[in-house]
Amino acid sequence: MNSRCRSRLFAAALVLSTAAACSAPQRYSPIPLPANHPTSLQREVQAVHHWRLMAASIALATRQMVESEPGGMTASFTLVPSQQTSDFSQAFHELLITELHNAGLRIAIPPAAGTAIRYTIQLVEFGDGRRTDYPLYATDGNLPPELAVTDASEISDWRAPRHELMVTTSIQRGDSYGLRRSDIYYLRSEDAQLYRPGSSGLAYTRLIDLVREQETRRMRAGGWPSYSLPTP
């Protein structure tokens, strides 16, 4: 076989091996590949009423913990405010006192005595480019009930919010936790200033007045109602 034939055979073999390499799946990646988590739902906060629902859910969890202990409902609690002051934290503190009271728990006055209920607030801001796929519509039971979205109005926004809020609540007894939970919510970007430390998006005194007026009307309407978690 002359040199020209050998060159042609080598070129043909090189083409075939390259094509095979391109068609074969790549076995290795220099870094982990991004993968989606299973679909889930997360509430979006859009009103002071939603702040009350957040406080009510914490009060319900606290009551359930207290009821499981002998004589727990006779104990007193002191609510320790968040160290980061914002429009949200100041109003949320008032709402949480109200909902704990509605739940039948004793809140110590002055707040120097009793078991401490502490909460921390963290505002998280992601970058641009977050996206969400269209929701799955299911009426045949293929999805879990919490993911069976059957009405487009159930979805707050087709865009993925950049801001999220995490509220962590702790009840400390001695050297252990009696309760520890973290709640996470979406926020609208235009409302983010309400959650920033030192924010002044709303006048604090006016916001507290609105909350107190609402609770005063409830009391005058027939006293403190029996406690139940408000329906979102």
Show Cβ contacts of residue 11 under 8 Å, excluding neighbours closer than 6 positions.
none
Q: What is the mean pLDDT of the chain?
A: 75
Strand order in the sheet with 76-80: 44-45, 176-187, 163-173, 115-125, 76-80, 106-107
In this predicted model, what pLDDT tens digit does every residue of 91-106 receive, in sequence order? 999 999 999 999 988 8
DSSP helix/strand/coil, 21: helix
Task: Report d(CA 118, CA 5) in Å as an integer.
Answer: 83
Share of the chain above pLDDT 90, in %: 26
Q: Measured at the alpha carbon of residue 144, what is the angle toward residues 143 and 149, in degrees to the nearest 5? A: 65
Higher-confidence residue of 159 and 160: namely 160
Domain spans, the chain: 42-122+165-225, 128-161
Q: What does the pLDDT look like over 20-79, one tens digit per residue?
A: 555 556 788 899 988 888 777 788 999 999 999 999 999 998 888 888 777 677 778 888
C-beta contacts of 64-70 below 8 A and 24+ residues apart: 65/171, 65/178, 65/179, 66/105
d(CA 227, CA 73): 14
pLDDT band at residue 225 using 50, 70 and 90 as cut-offs: very low
Q: Is the pTM here over 0.75, yes or no?
A: no
| Cβ–Cβ < 8 Å for 155, 186 | no
